[in-house]
Chain A
Amino acid sequence: MDFNYIIAMLLVALGLYCLLLKRNLIKIIIGLAVLTDGIHLFLISLGYRAGGIAAIVSGEMLSDLSGFAARAVDPIPQALVLTSIVINICIVAFALSLAIYSYRHYGTLDPSKLRRLKE
């Protein structure tokens, strides 16, 4: 069974729910992180192979490269996810500092109060 795909989509749905319905900036940012993590799980699952080995060539693997290629998991999604995690860390860190600043300026974390620009 492909539980990981179901759980990945559940995480995405959960993240969307947090983004749409929560009335707190910190929770919205958490929702964003959860949504991205769902996508990461999805990506990792794409490259997963049951009973596979890590895609790292070590000394004893050199003699049997074709066997290694047949057994190793797909390394590309892992590289993609690593990159994406780094990007996501930047976004979350930056969003949290912005939330701190907005709390200092507005005295609240409620996004519906952050609408002074409109007027």
Chain B
Amino acid sequence: MIPHAPILAIVLPLFAAFLMPVVGILARRRGIKRAREWFAIAAVLVELVIVVSMLPVVWGEQILVYQLGGWQPPWGINLAIDGLNLFVAVIVAGISALVVIYSFVCMERDTGLDQYYTLLFLILAGMMGVALTGDIFNLYVFFEIMCISSYALVAFRRKWQSIEASIKYLIVSSLGTSFILLGIALLYGMVGSLNIAHLAQKLPLEPTSAIIVPLALFVTGFGIKIAMVPLHMWQPDAYQAAPSAVAALFSGATATIGIYAMVRVVYTLFGAFAIGIMLAALGLVTMVLGALMALTQRDLKRLLAYSCISQIGYVLLGIGLGTVLGVQGGLFHLFNNAIYKTMLFMIAGAIIYRVGTSNMDRLGGLWKNMPVTAMLFGVGALAISGVPPFNGFASKWTIYVAGIEAGQPVFTIIALIMSALTLAYFLKALNSIFLGQRPTHLKNVKETPLFMLFPIVLLAALCVIFGVLPQLGIDIVRPAQEALMNSGGYISAVLGGA
């Protein structure tokens, strides 16, 4: 492990964010082209190396506790990293690295890229902070950093779509974060501590009626971020209007962070494994609504956004079941969802880059022009619908089996039907975009640029690898699942191991 890796993982993106305008100005003075892009790629790769370097330690059944300023918990702020934190951090760092590489070409026609990369690194710093911190107020602050940067990124192009989506997203999400703040205030008034482990220790083991209100406030606040029904309505607008690279980052990384924060607070902090059944039911509703709404969309990015809602429903269902298999399946599905949803948004971005629209009524027959992209889209569509031999099958199957084992066969049946609907709307998208007759104005569309294709191919390869070798994915997920189910270990590691 790199020494001081936990704090470096948060500080490095911040450093890069503040350095970015300076780099941009210097590059313009000296006339160096694309300096900030290369700088961004270098920074994000270093970040990935830092995060990955923590893997061997944490997988060796250890919990890293890093005390800021040398103060011991519960007085000082600390970073506590167990399997779940690191699992999420690795997803976030990996997806961000691919998105930065993708932005190299995807965003080249935009102006004001200094601000774009600054915001991208701020959002990365916020996500890393949420993923690694062990302090509930710190979590809130980093969550807000992430949210504010994401509002700005949605509005980045300043067209009417972006402004409308961004202001809706801002107001809804700010209401959610103020709920979280209120929840933190209630908890502080009740217990008088802000450390997650300390709070978990001091809260009653059997949940009492006093904690219902803060628990509901937290679930609602984080539920807005992951677009749980009925708090999902901002999401299609935001994903449709955001630049494709940003939408890829949101669907892959930010949604993962939302799930992590919710699970951490509900399971570790409150120890409320009992409300898992509520999360599963909400996940079921989320899944059904997302799939049915996606079925009738005209815009590819809006369809993908609803599909994102639907997939988050699967994750909630798996995690909410609360059994070992269910949590494994849910987290594995979270991992897979980050892979193929990012990939599909990147393909949508490639189509917009070459054609200029993502309205499916104006597209058609593009496989003659972009055969590789069409094939990759097919891989993504099959993976997300849970068709073997791709990774979606393994995680969805785990969730189905977990549903039956937990004594909820109805959940499994509905999830199966929704999986079929997923395939249906992706076939529609495939048919409308790549098959059929090609309108004459699309005759001269070229294949996606190679540099843009590289992250997509990498993600597609991951789809196949985790589909053919699902045991590998389960092995990756297992430390996270064990960490999530073993909140006592977390508490004693943070409070006792100092």
Interface of A toward B, CB cutoff 8 Å: 12, 19, 25, 28-29, 32, 35-36, 39, 42-43, 46, 76-77, 80, 83-84, 87, 90-91, 94-95, 98-99, 101-102, 105-106, 114-117
Residues of chain B lying within 8 A (CB to CB) of residue A95: 167, 170-171, 174
Q: Which chain B residue shows the least CB distance to A80? A: B137
B431 interface contact, C-beta 8 A: no
Residues of chain B lying within 8 A (CB to CB) of residue A94: 148, 151-152, 170
Given contacts A94-B170, A101-B158, contact A32 B178 (CB under 8 A): yes
Residues of chain A lying within 8 A (CB to CB) of residue B168: 114
Residues of chain A lying within 8 A (CB to CB) of residue B194: 76
Other A-B contacts than A39-B185, A43-B181, A98-B166, 13 sampled, CB-CB below 8 A, are: A39-B181, A76-B188, A83-B137, A95-B167, A98-B170, A99-B167, A101-B158, A102-B164, A105-B163, A106-B160, A117-B164, A117-B165, A117-B241
- Structural contact, A91 and B182, CB atoms closer than 8 A: no
Interface of B toward A, CB cutoff 8 Å: 137, 141, 144, 148, 151-152, 155, 158-161, 163-168, 170-171, 174-175, 178, 181-182, 184-185, 188-189, 194, 237, 240-241
Residues of chain A lying within 8 A (CB to CB) of residue B182: 12, 39, 42
Q: How far is the CA of A35 from the CA of B158 in the complex (A)?
A: 28
Most chain A C-beta atoms within 10 Å of own C-beta, residue among B152, B181, B184, B240: B181
Q: Which of A84, A91, A117 contacts B148 (CB 8 A)?
A: A91
- Structural contact, A90 and B148, CB atoms closer than 8 A: yes
- Report 26 cross-chain contacts, Cβ distance below 8 Å, ordered by A residue: A19-B171, A19-B175, A39-B178, A42-B182, A43-B188, A46-B185, A76-B188, A77-B185, A77-B188, A80-B137, A80-B184, A91-B144, A91-B170, A91-B174, A94-B151, A94-B152, A98-B163, A98-B167, A102-B167, A105-B160, A105-B163, A105-B164, A106-B160, A114-B167, A116-B160, A117-B240
Q: Which chain A residue shows the least CB distance to B165? A: A117
Quote the shortest CB–CB distance from B271 to chain A (angstroms): 23
Chain A contact residues: over half helix, strand or loop, or mixed?
helix
Q: Which of B144, B151, B158 contacts A87 (CB 8 A)?
A: B144
Q: How far is the CA of A68 from the CA of B144 in the complex (A)?
A: 34
- Structural contact, B178 and A36, CB atoms closer than 8 A: yes
- Structural contact, A42 and B185, CB atoms closer than 8 A: yes
Residues of chain B lying within 8 A (CB to CB) of residue A76: 188, 194
Please name the 4 residue pairs, one residue from A and one from B, whose CB atoms are nearest each other, closest first: A105-B160, A98-B167, A101-B163, A46-B189
Q: How far is the CA of A12 from the CA of B182 in the complex (A)?
A: 10
Q: How far is the CA of A95 from the CA of B170 in the complex (A)?
A: 7
- Structural contact, A83 and B178, CB atoms closer than 8 A: no
Most chain A C-beta atoms within 10 Å of own C-beta, residue among B160, B171, B185, B241: B185
Most chain B C-beta atoms within 10 Å of own C-beta, residue among A25, A42, A87, A105: A87
Quote the shortest CB–CB distance from B297 to chain A (angstroms): 11
Quote the shortest CB–CB distance from A75 to chain B (angstroms): 12
Given contacts A87-B148, A95-B170, contact A46 B181 (CB under 8 A): no
